[in-house]
């Protein structure tokens, strides 16, 4: 009888655990803005029915024409759309929001969401200035919310495999140089509402310097375990002033550390789209060519080797699955690519790079 009772208790416990997992509700997501071209990422997820991780419950977009165009394109109802962030939050009660508006308005999103205890994930970069980033950080800490930054390259298996080799395994020796190339042939061919703010120094912070320079600053800070550079230098060009009259379209950023140098080359003038990285150590190197393809040469290799990263090399392959995990407390965002800690250093670098470029490349010392 006692054995039967114990078996019953074990079965009941197993059944309860299974039911709890099955009953796990998707995290309720609000979308702020439709003027960032990356917004298709979340709208594709909004189309999925029965998504176990997220449910898009509302969209805040004041431009009715833009909203109607996107809802039609993705087959979503206009009933999802609200004219203001406040109304969307009041009516839909999301657990978190994803911001796809102008970078200059990220602070506004946090000001509205943080006091309500609503977590925020913004598209890269975190802000248009280090000052705005500090205000956002203070609000996030005061109201105990997660404030994350999303980069496409965060979900590249190749970057995580390079990190494993260079940082965790020490396979190439101490890192001495990092070179990052990011960009494409220019945003002028993209939709008008995106180009309008992306090419404005007030709403975007700069041109290619911020738009693509943030990727390299993010990856370098992560690979160097959160180190701040001792100095930042930057040089910018306007190769196409008729197309981009207000902002730079090509840049080089140099970060100096005690024993490492980082060169970041963001541009709207590459002949093709690219997001690749070279990491050199004392005894070898590892290159990421895209999200999967890699090249490397280690200490005892006689020739360069090629390999491919798997999706599983990245802990999570999608920003919204990651957001759901963070909100549920299933993973912590402390010193990873999306974390506030890393992205505060990124903003300090970008802010210094912009100042350096205005002074003809003068090195800006970080105190």
pLDDT at 22 over 60: no
Render 57-122 in DSSP notation, one character per residue. Answer: EEEE-S-HHHHHHHHHHHT--GGGEESSHHHHHHHH--SEEEE-S-GGGHHHHHHHHGGGT-EEEE
pTM (2 d.p.): 0.92
In angstroms, the CA 204 to CA 264 distance is: 18
Q: What is the pLDDT of residue 6?
A: 46
For helices 106-113 and 85-92, give the axis angle rounded to 10 degrees.
40
Residue range 160-179, pLDDT digits in tens = 999 999 999 999 999 999 99
Residue range 103-133, pLDDT digits in tens = 999 999 999 999 999 999 999 999 999 999 9
For residue 219, what is the enclosing H or E element? helix 213-223
Q: CB 237: neighbour CB atoms within 10 A? A: 16
Helices (runs of H) and strands (runs of E) counted in the chain = 13, 15
Residue range 27-59, pLDDT digits in tens = 999 999 999 999 999 999 998 888 999 999 999
Residue range 291-330, pLDDT digits in tens = 999 999 999 999 999 999 998 999 998 999 999 999 999 9
Residue with tokens 């999200």: 291
Q: What is the pLDDT of residue 355?
A: 98
In angstroms, the CA 333 to CA 149 distance is: 11
**Closest to 147 (Cα-Cα) out of 163, 161, 164, 127:** 127
The answer to whether residues 73 and 45 touch, using CB atoms and an 8 Å cutoff, is no
Comparison of pLDDT for 20 and 259, the residue scoring more: 259
Q: What is the pLDDT of residue 2?
A: 52
The answer to whether residues 153 and 275 touch, using CB atoms and an 8 Å cutoff, is yes
Render 243-303 in DSSP notation, one character per residue. Answer: TSSSS-SEEEEEEE-SS-EEEEEEES--SS-EEEEEEEESS-EEEE-SSSEEEEE-TT-SS
Q: What is the pLDDT of residue 23?
A: 56
Residue range 222-268, pLDDT digits in tens = 999 999 999 999 999 999 999 999 999 999 999 999 999 999 999 99
Rg (CA), the chain: 22
pLDDT at 147 over 70: yes
Q: What angle do CA 252, 257, 261 make, to 5 degrees?
A: 45
Q: What is the pLDDT of residue 204?
A: 97
Average pLDDT (14-19) is 44
Q: What is the pLDDT of residue 20?
A: 43
Residues facing 305 on adjacent strands: 296
In angstroms, the CA 219 to CA 152 distance is: 11
pLDDT at 151 over 80: yes
Residue range 186-223, pLDDT digits in tens = 998 888 999 999 999 999 999 999 999 999 999 999 99
Distance of CA 359 to the CA centre of its chain: 29
Residue range 325-352, pLDDT digits in tens = 999 999 988 899 999 999 999 999 999 9
Q: What is the pLDDT of residue 8?
A: 45
pLDDT at 1 over 70: no
Q: What is the pLDDT of residue 145?
A: 98
Q: What is the pLDDT of residue 273?
A: 97
The answer to whether residues 218 and 235 touch, using CB atoms and an 8 Å cutoff, is no
Residue range 75-98, pLDDT digits in tens = 999 999 999 999 999 999 999 999
For helices 340-358 and 130-142, give the axis angle rounded to 10 degrees.
160
pLDDT at 10 over 50: no
Comparison of pLDDT for 1 and 350, the residue scoring more: 350
């Amino acid at each position: 009888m006692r054995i039967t009772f114990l078996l019953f208790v074990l079965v009941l416990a197993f059944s309860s655990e299974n039911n709890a997992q099955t009953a796990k509700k998707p995290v309720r997501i609000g979308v702020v803005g439709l003027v960032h071209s990356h917004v298709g990422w979340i709208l594709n997820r909004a189309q999925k029915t029965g998504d176990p991780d997220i449910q898009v419950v509302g969209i805040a977009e004041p431009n009715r024409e833009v909203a109607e165009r996107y809802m039609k394109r993705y087959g979503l109802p206009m009933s999802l759309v609200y004219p203001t962030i406040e109304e969307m939050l009041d009516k839909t009660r999301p657990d978190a929001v994803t911001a796809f508006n102008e970078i200059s308005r990220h602070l506004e999103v946090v000001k509205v969401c943080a006091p309500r205890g609503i977590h925020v994930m913004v598209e890269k970069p975190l802000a248009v200035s280090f000052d705005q980033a500090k205000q956002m950080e203070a609000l996030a800490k005061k109201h105990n919310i997660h404030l994350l930054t999303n980069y496409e390259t965060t979900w590249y298996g190749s970057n995580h495999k390079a990190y494993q080799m260079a940082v965790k395994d020490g396979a190439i020796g101490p890192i001495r140089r990092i070179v990052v190339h990011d960009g494409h042939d220019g945003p002028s061919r993209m939709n008008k509402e995106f180009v309008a703010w992306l090419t404005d120094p007030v709403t975007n912070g700069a041109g290619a310097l911020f738009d693509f320079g943030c990727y390299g600053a993010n990856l370098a800070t992560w690979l160097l375990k959160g180190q701040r550079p001792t100095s930042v230098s930057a040089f910018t060009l306007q190769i196409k002033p008729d197309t981009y009259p207000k902002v730079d379209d090509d840049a080089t950023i140099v970060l100096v550390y005690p024993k490492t140098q980082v060169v970041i080359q963001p541009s709207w003038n590459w002949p093709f789209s690219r997001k690749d990285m070279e990491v050199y150590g004392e005894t070898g190197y590892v290159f990421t060519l895209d999200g999967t393809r890699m090249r490397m040469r280690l200490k005892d290799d006689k020739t360069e080797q090629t390999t491919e990263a798997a999706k599983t090399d990245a802990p999570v392959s999608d920003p919204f699955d990651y957001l759901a995990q963070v909100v549920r407390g299933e993973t912590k965002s402390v010193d990873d690519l999306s974390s506030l800690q890393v992205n505060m250093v990124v903003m300090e670098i970008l802010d210094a790079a912009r100042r350096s470029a205005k002074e003809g490349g003068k090195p800006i010392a970080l105190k």
